[in-house]
């Protein structure tokens, strides 16, 4: 097994390490938030232990209290939050008893932190070198020259090219991934004994995430630090952590070795979490995803008995009658908080097949959308000196000569890293941006210009679902008004029937009719996204552009929304252009996948084409970088090095050449890549000879075999 | 998702919200402003004397049971005049603010939403207008149009329009690329629908707060213009006018000046408290909603 899996297997925990004094010991922690006279009991009775050299993942969905645990440990709870009970010990120090001065002495030197958003964690007014240097000087006796050497050494340690150059730069001159590396360098500046990481890779591209995780794994070994890793991403946990605590609504429901929890999850919640993630061998044609229905319980008014009982598929009367406690399950020190864990059926992953590639037939349906040589260029704002000196206007080539077709009732997924132009493509289709050149043929008529310049009929037939559920609905409009507006705008339903139709649409997205009177702030994220879907379908469209509609949602909610999208598509024969960076979601949902890189198409084909060799080298790297929460799947390790080229007036040649591990020197930099066709549906744009592409090994395999996962 | 799950997806957040705490400044400011408003409406019915009635035998009388706040050099009852002046001052300030806010909101919304050279042109004009001190600009307008109450109100509206437009424009810019606005664009909604039905309802809080701030300045402008003889004309019982006409008697009969001055100060402080309280209240509401 390659990198991803080995860390799981060779967990450095031994019996000796277990007996030694833990680096961090959280005992019976209770945290409450007080607002408007109400107590929200966000964390209740959490016990966590992290030993030296060990990585403990605290994994949970939003509202689970995982960040409250992290903030309590850092003594960074906001004014409304309070530790009600329990202890947090770092080695022999009681963290909760320290005063501000003592705390500052420990934080940054013996305990370090890395947060989610590197942009806000770095001070934009100071150079990188000075910011790290300040940490070094504050906590060590280094003089300025020594401190400077230390800074360069640290920057080198996080694989930043040209450390001396980076030290001189300001935060805004670095990419998000580079900024996160700087923060990691800063965290390791004083050989911390404990590192707290709160969603450190959320918001980064998968390729960058893979790099960062590799890096932290290397540093962990070098410094033997204990790591408390807060995340919602089970794939990252499987790839990177030794032990995992699954936290839900403020309680740890299961805790144990990653290798055990992911193969033999004991708690029903852990099992549901693992099964609601679309697996890479699962397609919408196989079966529906299992979603966790319901909502988090109200933490101001706790239910009796098991906190998860209301949403549990294995619940029995005993669950709501008995108080739960963490019981030891199995012989490897795993704990589970479920009174029925011993009665539950054995857990088996529902796999699609024994392997063996499936083949898809060519799509013969009538195309609803044909994109021909589409180009979207945007002028770069010129400086006044450039205008005066008559410098040529430069353009960002956001979408550069893309041609794809999308059949009626089918799903075309567009994947790629941030900045690859996938969102621009979607916005050009719905008319939020204009195309520079090329054609968009929609059901026989041309889509040009902005939405307001198109005919009402065309506007009705092309709809969009946005990424952020919190911004997609007008906070001042009721759900009924939001869904009803397309009905009246496009004269779809006579006025007296409108309310009836709104109710029908609400039912079709599994929301009760009474929601028509509600306002967005009364809905959860998943419910808002359902309303947005109902609003898009209200127009009875033939094409919906889905711009990352799932990426802001928890995995359990994601599964339900994915099921909903599949069901609605079956019923209405609406085509989706699905923009996403999540390959497992795309694998499940789509009929065709287009991989974009810097405005260009790298590869296109059915999921069965794209997920098995031959690959475009970029697809190969993407597949290698995704984190899969399945210990029975192995991944090849391919990491992209090299600089990302600028999208402003890009140079000729293959756009991917600067980062491509399989680059053919001179050729790739000079000429645009030729097209290779494999079968009726699969196209790859690459200079690598056909035979060599065909010889590629599968990146994602079942453990112990060469069979690719599809 | 099967329909049987509907019951569990509801009611983690109750639809009925608990009443929010109202800031003290809002209560005090609001009630004083309301009292002045009430005075402006029913003043003539409760004042002890007509505001322009002369009492020749009791000229420059100090405060007494008969004349609560004394009389002026014509023997007119100061208390009655201050009450009558409330109507003039409150309504002039209110009307001037209303003109400024309405015009500013419309200009700010269009400028911020449409953008491009229209935005550029409108904002440069507001820059020019704002480069004049408020009182000076108002005086210029009144001097050009003629000195009376209506023109004073118009001049206040003109002074306020660019300031309100700036605030509204920046609030609009923040919403211009929000997804629900883009959703409306994709549906093909008209510009005025997007501006007035999608954006405007979401920027009421800054507009309300700005209006309160403007109102306190409007009171100041109204009385300043009258003081300079550019607003209400004698024998109108305007507070600014009263101070201007009676200022020579500040030493011999201070009540003549102190009464209207006190009224001005009280009203301005109250309006400011109202504005502060509103800001606090609306900010708290926003947090509570999220």
H or E element that contains A43 = strand A38-50
Task: For B204, name the nearest residue in chain A, comparing CA atoms only.
Answer: A476
Q: Count CB neighbours of B148 within 10 A.
A: 14
The arithmetic mean of pLDDT across residues A169-177, rounded, is 85
Check if the beta carbon of residue B110 is closer than 8 Å to that of residue B118: yes
A452·B188 Cβ contact <8 A:
yes
Assess whether pLDDT exceeds 50 at residue A579: yes
> Per-residue b/e over B217-226, b at no fewer than 16 CB within 10 Å?
bbbbbbbbbb
Q: What is the pLDDT of residue A173?
A: 84
Assess whether pLDDT exceeds 90 at residue A115: no
pLDDT band with cut points at 50, 70 and 90 for residue A364: low
Sign for the pseudo-dihedral over CA of A171, A172, A176, A177: negative
Q: DSSP letter at A473?
A: S
Task: For A475, name the nearest residue in chain B, comparing CA atoms only.
Answer: B202
* Nearest CA distance, A190 vs chain B (angstrom): 39
- Residue A35 sits at the vertex; the CA angle it makes with A30 and A40, to the nearest 5 degrees, is 35
Higher pLDDT, B3 or A507: A507
The closest CB to that of B183, out of A464, A522, A524, belongs to A464
Q: What are phi and psi of A253, to 5 degrees?
A: -95, -30
Q: What is the pLDDT of residue A603?
A: 94
Q: List the single best residue of A38, A289, A452, A566 to mutate versus B (max B Cβ within 10 A).
A: A452
Dist CA A663 CA A674 (whole Å): 14
User: pLDDT above 90 covers what percent of chain A?
Assistant: 36
Q: What is the pLDDT of residue A16?
A: 45
Q: What is the pLDDT of residue A11?
A: 41
The closest CB to that of B9, out of A294, A452, A472, belongs to A294
B182·A512 Cβ contact <8 A:
no
Dist CA A205 CA A581 (whole Å): 8
The closest CB to that of B186, out of A291, A430, A467, belongs to A430
Q: What is the pLDDT of residues A301-354, one digit of tens each?
A: 888 888 888 888 888 888 888 777 777 776 666 788 888 877 788 777 666 554
Write out chain A residues lying below 8 Å of B8, CB-based: 293-295, 310-311
Q: List the single best residue of B6, B174, B179 to mutate versus A (max A Cβ within 10 A).
A: B179
Write out chain A residues lying below 8 Å of B187, CB-based: 451, 459, 485-486, 489, 539
Tell me how far CA of residue A447 lies from CA of A477, A579, B188, in angstroms: 30, 19, 14
Q: SS in 3 state form for A276-320? A: HCCCCCCCCCCCCCCCCCCCCCCCCCCCCCCCCHHHCCCCCHHHH
H or E element that contains A676 = strand A675-678
Q: DSSP letter at A513?
A: G
The closest CB to that of B10, out of A462, A463, A512, belongs to A512
Dist CA B202 CA A471 (whole Å): 12
Check if the beta carbon of residue A542 is closer than 8 Å to that of residue A461: yes
User: pLDDT above 70 covers what percent of chain A?
Assistant: 94
Dist CA A178 CA A165 (whole Å): 13
- Tokens in use for B215? 């109102």
Q: What is the pLDDT of residues A267-307, one digit of tens each?
A: 999 988 888 888 888 888 888 888 888 878 888 888 888 88
The 3-state DSSP composition of chain A as helix, strand, coil percent (nearest 5) reads 35, 20, 40
Sign for the pseudo-dihedral over CA of A518, A521, A523, A527: positive
Tens place of pLDDT per residue across chain B (290 aa)? 333 333 333 333 433 444 567 888 899 999 999 988 888 888 778 877 777 777 777 777 778 777 778 787 777 888 888 888 888 888 899 999 999 999 999 999 999 999 889 999 999 999 999 999 989 999 999 989 988 889 999 999 999 999 999 999 999 999 998 999 999 999 989 999 999 999 999 999 899 999 999 999 999 999 898 888 887 787 788 888 888 888 888 888 788 888 888 989 999 999 999 988 888 888 776 655 54
Check if the beta carbon of residue B227 is closer than 8 Å to that of residue B240: yes
Higher pLDDT, A198 or A641: A198
Matching residue, tokens 């911020």: B112
How many CB pairs lie under 8 A apart between chains A and B?
Answer: 95
Dist CA A314 CA A347 (whole Å): 13
Q: What is the pLDDT of residue A253?
A: 92
Assess whether pLDDT exceeds 50 at residue A105: yes
Q: Residue A228: name the closest of A212, A210, A216 by CA.
A: A216
Check if the beta carbon of residue A583 is closer than 8 Å to that of residue A623: yes
Tell me how far CA of residue A344 lies from CA of A304, A449, B263, in angstroms: 21, 58, 78
Q: Across all residues in chain A, what is the average pLDDT?
A: 86
The closest CB to that of B180, out of A473, A518, A564, belongs to A473
Q: What is the pLDDT of residue B147?
A: 83
Cis peptide before A208 (omega within 30 of 0): no
Strand, helix or coil at B177? coil
Check if the beta carbon of residue A270 is closer than 8 Å to that of residue A253: yes
CA atoms in the 13 A half-sphere facing the CB of A419 = 13
Interface predicted TM-score (ipTM):
0.81
Given phi > 0 = left and psi -120 to 50 = alpha, else beta, which region is B193? Answer: alpha
Check if the beta carbon of residue B73 is closer than 8 Å to that of residue B59: yes
Q: Count CB neighbours of A183 within 10 A.
A: 25
- Residues 6+ positions from A384 with CB-CB distance below 8 Å: none
The closest CB to that of A464, out of B178, B186, B189, belongs to B186
Q: What is the pLDDT of residue B186?
A: 92
Supply the pTM of this predicted model: 0.84
Q: What is the pLDDT of residue A350?
A: 62
Higher pLDDT, B287 or A491: A491
Q: What is the pLDDT of residues A221-272, one digit of tens each?
A: 888 889 999 998 888 998 889 999 999 999 999 999 988 888 888 899 998 8
Q: Residue A307: name the closest of A328, A326, A288, A329 by CA.
A: A326
Matching residue, tokens 């949602």: A553
Q: What is the pLDDT of residue A646?
A: 81
Point out the least confidently predicted range of A127-136, A544-553, A557-566, A633-642. Answer: A633-642
* Nearest CA distance, B227 vs chain A (angstrom): 44
**What angle do the packed helices B179-187 and A479-489 form, to 10 degrees?**
20
Dist CA A60 CA A518 (whole Å): 28
A467·B18 Cβ contact <8 A:
no
Burial environment of residue A482 by CB neighbours within 10 A (0 to 12, 13 to 18, 19 or more): buried
């Amino acid at each position: 097994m390659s990198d991803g899996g080995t860390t799981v297997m060779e967990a450095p925990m031994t019996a000796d390490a277990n007996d030694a004094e833990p680096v961090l010991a959280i005992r019976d922690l209770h945290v409450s938030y007080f607002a408007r006279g109400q107590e929200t009991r966000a964390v209740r009775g959490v016990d966590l232990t992290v030993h030296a050299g060990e990585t403990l993942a605290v994994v949970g969905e939003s509202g689970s209290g995982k960040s409250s645990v992290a903030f309590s440990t850092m003594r960074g709870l906001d004014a409304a939050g309070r530790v009600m009970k329990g202890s947090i010990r770092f080695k022999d120090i009681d963290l909760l008893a320290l005063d501000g001065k003592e705390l500052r002495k420990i934080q940054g030197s013996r305990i370090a932190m890395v947060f989610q958003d590197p942009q806000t964690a770095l001070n934009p007014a100071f150079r990188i070198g000075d910011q790290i240097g300040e940490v070094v000087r504050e906590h060590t006796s280094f003089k300025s020259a020594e401190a400077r050497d230390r800074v360069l050494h640290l920057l080198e340690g996080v694989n930043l090219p040209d450390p001396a150059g980076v030290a001189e730069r300001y935060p805004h001159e670095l990419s998000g991934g580079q900024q996160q590396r700087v923060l990691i360098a800063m965290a390791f500046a004083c050989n911390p004994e404990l590192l707290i990481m709160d969603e450190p890779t959320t918001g980064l591209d998968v390729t960058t995430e893979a790099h960062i995780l590799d890096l932290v794994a290397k540093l962990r070994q070098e410094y033997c630090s204990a790591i408390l890793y807060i995340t919602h991403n089970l794939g990252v946990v499987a790839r990177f952590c030794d032990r995992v605590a699954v936290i839900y609504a403020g309680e740890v429901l299961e805790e144990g070795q990653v290798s055990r929890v992911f193969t033999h999850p004991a708690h029903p919640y852990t099992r549901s979490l693992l099964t609601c993630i679309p697996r890479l061998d699962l397609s919408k044609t196989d079966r529906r995803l299992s979603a966790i229905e319901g909502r988090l319980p109200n933490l101001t008014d706790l239910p009796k008995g098991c906190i998860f009982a209301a949403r549990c598929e294995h619940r029995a009367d005993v669950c709501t009658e008995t108080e739960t406690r963490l019981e030891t399950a199995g012989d490897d020190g795993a704990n589970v908080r479920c009174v029925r864990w011993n009665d539950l059926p054995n857990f088996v992953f529902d796999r699609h097949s024994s392997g063996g590639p499936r083949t898809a037939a060519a799509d013969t349906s009538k195309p609803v959308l044909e994109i021909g040589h589409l180009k979207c260029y945007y002028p770069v704002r010129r400086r006044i000196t450039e205008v005066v000196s008559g410098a040529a206007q430069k353009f960002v080539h956001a979408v550069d000569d893309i041609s794809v077709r999308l059949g009626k009732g089918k799903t075309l997924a567009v994947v790629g890293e941030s900045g690859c132009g996938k969102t621009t493509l979607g916005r050009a289709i719905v008319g939020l941006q204009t195309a520079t050149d090329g054609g968009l043929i929609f059901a026989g008529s041309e889509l040009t210009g902005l939405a307001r310049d198109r005919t009402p009929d065309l506007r009705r037939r092309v709809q969009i679902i946005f990424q952020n559920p919190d911004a997609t609905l007008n906070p001042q409009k009721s759900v009924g008004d939001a869904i009803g507006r397309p009905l009246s705008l496009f004269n779809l339903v006579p006025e007296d029937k409108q309310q009836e139709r709104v109710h029908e649409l609400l039912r079709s997205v599994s929301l009760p009719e009474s929601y028509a009177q509600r306002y967005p702030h009364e809905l959860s994220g998943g419910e808002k996204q359902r309303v947005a879907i109902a609003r898009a379908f209200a127009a009875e469209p033939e094409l919906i552009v889905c711009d990352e509609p799932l990426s802001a949602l928890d995995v359990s909610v994601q599964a339900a929304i994915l099921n909903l999208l599949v069901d609605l598509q079956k019923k209405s024969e609406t085509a989706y252009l699905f923009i996403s960076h999540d390959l497992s979601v795309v694998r499940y949902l789509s009929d065709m996948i287009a991989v974009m890189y810097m405005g260009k198409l790298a590869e296109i084909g059915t999921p069965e084409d794209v997920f098995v060799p031959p690959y475009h080298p970029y697809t190969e790297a993407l597949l290698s970088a995704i984190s899969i929460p399945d210990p029975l799947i192995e991944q090849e390790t391919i990491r992209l090095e090299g600089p990302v080229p600028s999208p402003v007036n890009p140079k000729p040649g293959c756009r991917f050449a600067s980062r491509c591990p399989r680059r053919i020197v001179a050729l790739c930099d000079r000429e645009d890549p030729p097209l290779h066709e494999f079968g009726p549906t699969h196209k790859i744009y690459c200079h690598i000879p056909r035979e060599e592409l065909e010889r590629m090994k599968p990146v994602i395999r079942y453990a112990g075999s060469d069979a690719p996962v599809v | 998702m099967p329909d049987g799950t509907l019951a569990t997806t509801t009611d983690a957040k109750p639809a009925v919200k608990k009443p929010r705490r109202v800031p003290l400044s809002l209560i005090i400011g609001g009630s004083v402003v309301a009292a002045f408003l009430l005075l402006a409406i029913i003043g003539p019915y409760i004042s002890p004397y007509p505001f322009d009635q002369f009492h020749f035998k009791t000229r420059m009388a100090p405060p007494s049971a008969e004349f609560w706040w004394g009389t002026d050099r014509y023997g007119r009852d100061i208390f009655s005049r201050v009450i009558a002046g409330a109507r003039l001052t409150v309504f002039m300030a209110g009307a001037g603010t209303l003109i400024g806010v309405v015009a500013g909101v419309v200009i700010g919304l269009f400028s911020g939403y449409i953008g491009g050279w229209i935005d550029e042109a409108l904002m440069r004009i507001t820059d020019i207008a704002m480069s004049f001190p408020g009182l000076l600009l108002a005086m210029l307008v009144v001097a050009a149009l003629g000195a009376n109450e209506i023109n004073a109100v118009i001049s206040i509206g003109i002074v306020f329009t660019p300031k309100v437009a700036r605030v509204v424009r920046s609030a609009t810019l923040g919403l211009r690329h929000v997804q629900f606005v883009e959703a409306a664009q994709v549906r093909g909604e008209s510009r005025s629908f997007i501006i007035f039905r999608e954006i405007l309802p979401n920027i009421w809080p800054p507009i309300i707060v700005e209006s309160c701030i403007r109102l306190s300045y409007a009171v100041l402008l109204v009385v300043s213009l009258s003081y300079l003889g550019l607003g209400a004309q004698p024998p109108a019982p305007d507070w600014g006018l009263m101070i201007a006409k009676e200022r020579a008697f500040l030493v011999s009969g201070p009540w003549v000046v102190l009464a209207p001055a006190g009224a001005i100060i009280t009203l301005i402080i109250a309006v400011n408290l109202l504005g502060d309280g509103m800001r606090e209240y609306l900010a708290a509401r926003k947090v509570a909603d999220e």
